[in-house]
Structures are given as C-alpha cells and as structure tokens.
Amino acid sequence: MSSEWPLWEVFIRGQHGLNHRHVGSLHAPDAELAIRHARDVYTRRNEGVSIWVVPSAQITASAPSEKGPLFEPANAKVYRHPTFYDIPDEVGHM
C-alpha cells in the first residue's frame, strides 16, 4: 500500500524584516496540516514568525547543466559593479 502524503517545501521567516527562507521539506496530506507539521518540525525553538508551504511538485528548478548559459553572461559584465569605476581620491567618498 502506498498512500504516501505528498511532499511540501517549507519556508520560514526567521525575524520580522527578513525574507522567508527555505528550511527543508515534509510530508502532509494538505496545506493546512503542512503548516502545522512545519511548526512542529522546523520551529520548536522560536525560529520563525511566519511559515510558507508549497507543494514540492509545483516547484520548477533550473537544471544544473544550464548553469553555464544561465549565469556565465553576468560574469562578463564587470561594469555592473561599482568597483569597475575609478573615482579620483580628491572627489571623496562616492
């Protein structure tokens, strides 16, 4: 018999003002119970102020093999960084 509960990805906001961050996954029959389980599994020591759960099957991820085409173009664009530009000392902090 396999009626395994579906898998959910859990995201927790650690403190007010921070992003929700992926902390792990768990099995639950529905979203409501996924939140309750996430409370028990991932916030036993006040680790969070808010929880998101998302069905794992709903997540689309980039393929590791696409790492080059996806991210390498940014490598060549050094002019996007402030350190690319020389500002004379006399100008002061900028």
Partner 1 sequence: MYAQMVKSEATNEDPEMLAAFQARIDAGERIEPKDWMPEGYRKTLIRQIGQHAHSEIVGQLPEGNWITRAPTLERKAILLAKVQDEAGHGLYLYCAAETLGVTRDDLTEQLLSGRMKYSSIFNYPTLTWADIGAVGWLVDGAAIMNQVPLQRTSFGPYSRAMIRICKEESFHQRQGYDLIRKMAEGTAEQKAMAQDALNRFWYPSLMMFGPSDKDSVHSTQSMAWRIKINTNDELRQKFVDQTVPQAKFLGLTIPDENLKWNEDKQGWDFSEPDWSEFYEVLKGNGPCNTDRIEARQKAWRDGAWFRDGLMGHAKKAEARRNAGRIAAE
For binding to partner 1 (CB under 8 A), which residues are involved? 1-5, 7, 24-27, 29-30, 33, 40-42, 44-45, 61, 63-64
CB of 3 or CB of 75, closer to partner 1:
3
As a whole number of angstroms, the distance between CA 56 and CA 34 comes to: 12
Type of residue found at 79: Y
Which tokens sit at 59?
């997540």
Question: Rounded to a whole number, what is the distance in angstroms from the first to the last CA of the chain?
Answer: 66
CB of 32 or CB of 50, closer to partner 1:
32
Residues written for the chain: 94
C-beta of 73: minimal distance to partner 1 in Å? 21
CB of 24 or CB of 69, closer to partner 1:
24
Nearest to 40 by CA among 22, 27, 55: 27
C-beta of 64: minimal distance to partner 1 in Å? 5
C-beta of 89: minimal distance to partner 1 in Å? 38
